[in-house]
Amino acid sequence: MAETQALTKKDLKSDQDVRWCPGCGDYAILNSAQGILAGLGIPKHKMVFVSGIGCSSRFPYYMNTYGLHSIHGRAPAFATGIKLANPELTVWLVTGDGDGLSIGGNHLAHILRRNVDVKILLFNNEIYGLTKGQYSPTSGIGLKTKTSPMGSVDRPFNPVSFALGCGATFVARTIDTHQKHMEATLLAAAAHKGSALVEIYQNCVIFNDGVFDGVAEKSVRDDKTIDLQPGQPMVFGKARDRGLRVEGFDVRVAPAESADTWRADTPSAGPAFVMSQLDADPTMPRPIGLFRRVAAPIFNEGVHAQVNAAIAKKGAGKLRDLFYTGDMWEVS
């Protein structure tokens, strides 16, 4: 039976030629996603990839699963409809910083707050790629693009802070060039029950090349990032000699021995939010990994529980009862 056959990465590759620019970070993400999904034990006909518009949104065409390439920014709404219509499906959503945080910011906020069981990959390259290089809602202040020739004066979104603010139950960050970390993060997202948002630093070689190099480039990565993993000490540095301590609302760098243990399931999202705000501080390592992971009621389950309860209580509705109800009278 197809259900039990193990998949290989190749099974998940569609027959379409991948058409991202050579060197684009999207390739690595596609490769990792195909790798981990093949190992989940889910048959490919039960997987649906949904996307909006943008470079990242071509993703579904390259997956040999069901796929819906929708319209700009609205993928969360399509994904919600799909998941509500068939909760058995494994639904993944691919979006970008423009698609997900600009035109589709509203929908992203609502899918996260509802906790629809959909896994969301937000490819953040801090630029509009498909429309050829305009600044995006995550572009840094001062970024010169075709629509910001004197530098952007537009304060950027922090995708992790945004998701936390929406009440997301799973929020993580990873890096396109960090395959091991990315695969572990995607696996954790796949295992989460509820909506999971993974921000992926993705390099756009054409319009914003190297934008994350300062923290994500392999030679500096260990010193410039800190990998938040639940239950693990917050240690970083090539020599793993430094750590983070949380003191009130402040975070300080301390020797590794006195680093705090990271918890992603605190009752309040406060600690995760504090961590997400370290981005603004160039003296601090950039947090990646798992910011938040908590259990919460799942929207699609709640919706169907009500449908089932109504059927249990009233019996499955019959056409006749739909018409012949309430006050009626006869004309003969």
Partner 1 sequence: MTQTRNLGADLPSQQFENVVIRFAGDSGDGMQITGSQFTHTAALLGNDLATFPDFPAEIRAPAGTQPGVSGFQVRFSSSDIHTPGDRPDVLVAMNPAALAVNIKDLAPGGIVIINTGQFAERDIAKAGLKSNPMTDGTLAGFRKIEIDINDRVKRALEGSPLSPKDIQRCKNFYTLGLMYWLYSRPLDATVVWLKDKFSKKPELAEANIKALTAGFNAGDIHELFQNRYEVAACTTMPPGTYRNITGNEAASIGLVAGAELAGLKVFIGSYPITPASSILEQLASYKHYGVVSFQAEDEIAAICSAIGASYTGYLGVTSTSGPGMALKGEGMGLAVSLELPLVIVDVQRGGPSTGLPTKTEQADLLQAIFGRNSEAPIPVLAAATPSDAFECAVEAVRIAVQYMTPVILLSDGYIANGAEPWRLPEIDKLPRFAVKFLGEVPEGGYLPYARDDKRARPWVKPGTPGLEHRIGGLEKAHLTGHISYDPENHDFMVRMRAAKVAGVRDTIPTPPVVGDAQGDLLVVGWGSTYGSIASAVEITRAKGQRVSRLHLRHLWPLPAGLDEIFARFKAILIPEMNLGQLARLLRSEYPRHDFISYSKVQGQPFKTFELTNKIESILEK
Binding site for ligand SF4 (CB under 6 A): 20-21, 24, 26, 55, 125, 129, 204-207
- Residue of 70, 125, 158, 225 interacting with partner 1 (CB under 8 A): 70
Cβ-based neighbours of 268, under 8 Å, separated by 6 or more? none
Nearer to ligand SF4, 171 or 204 (CB): 204
CB 32 within 8 Å of CB 186: yes
The answer to whether 153 contacts partner 1 (rule: CB under 8 A) is: no
CA pair distance 51, 69, nearest whole angstrom: 5
Whether 36 and 119 have beta carbons less than 8 Å apart is answered as no
- Minimum gap (Å) between residue 52 Cβ and partner 1: 10
Residue 40 binds which of ligand SF4, partner 1, none (CB < 5-8 A, kind-dependent): none
CB 93 within 8 A of CB 121: yes
Between CA 74 and CA 122 the distance in angstroms is 13
DSSP secondary structure string, 106-167?
HHHHHHHHHT-SEEEEEEE-SSBTTTTSB--TTSPTT--BTTBTT----PPP-HHHHHHHTT
Indicate whether 96 belongs to the interface with partner 1 (CB under 8 A): no
- The site partner of 55 among ligand SF4, partner 1, none (C-beta below 5 to 8 Å per kind) is ligand SF4
Nearer to ligand SF4, 26 or 227 (CB): 26
**175 binding partner (options ligand SF4, partner 1, none; Cβ < 5 to 8 Å by kind):** none
- Report which DSSP code applies to 332: -
Partner whose binding site includes residue 21, from ligand SF4, partner 1, none (CB under 5 to 8 Å by kind): ligand SF4
Cα 235 to Cα 91: distance, rounded to the nearest angstrom: 34
The residue ranges that bind partner 1 (CB under 8 A) are 2, 14, 16, 43-46, 48-51, 53, 60-61, 63-71, 74, 76-82, 84-86, 88-89, 106-107, 109-110, 303-304, 306-307, 309-311, 313-317, 319-320, 322-332
